[in-house]
Amino acid sequence: MAGIEREVIVFAVAVLAGASIRLTYRCLACFREIIKHSLILMGIEDLVFWFSAAIYLFIQIYQTNSGRIRWHFILGVVIGAVLMSLLVKKLKNFWKIFLRKKC
């Protein structure tokens, strides 16, 4: 039982890691909407973001699985990113409706 509990915790960490990466990228996209950037600067920002995300995921894999990449960790990251995308979309729609009613 302890082995399955550990795997569930690893999966939960992977979901949170995927969600945090997706939310961070959405914040970067919002920053780009507020302050316009050139294509070169956007490319540099993307490069720094994805390099940082890769390091973050490597650290998470190393801490949870002793550096072993497992399919359920990758699945958890993808599920976390998808769930965060859906949550952001729902919040965006809610915010639009909320602003429409206030005005």
CA distances from 95 to 14, 38, 40, 66, 82 (A): 28, 29, 32, 41, 20
> Mean pLDDT across the stretch 77-87?
96
Q: Nearest to residue 57, comparing CAs of 24, 99, 89? A: 24
pLDDT confidence of residue 1: 52
pLDDT confidence of residue 83: 96
Pairwise CA distance, residues 6 & 9, whole Å: 5
C-beta separation of 49 from 28 below 8 A? yes
pTM of the model: 0.83
pLDDT confidence of residue 103: 45
Taking the domains of the chain in order of start, what are their residue ranges?
A: 2-102
pLDDT confidence of residue 6: 86
Pairwise CA distance, residues 73 & 49, whole Å: 20
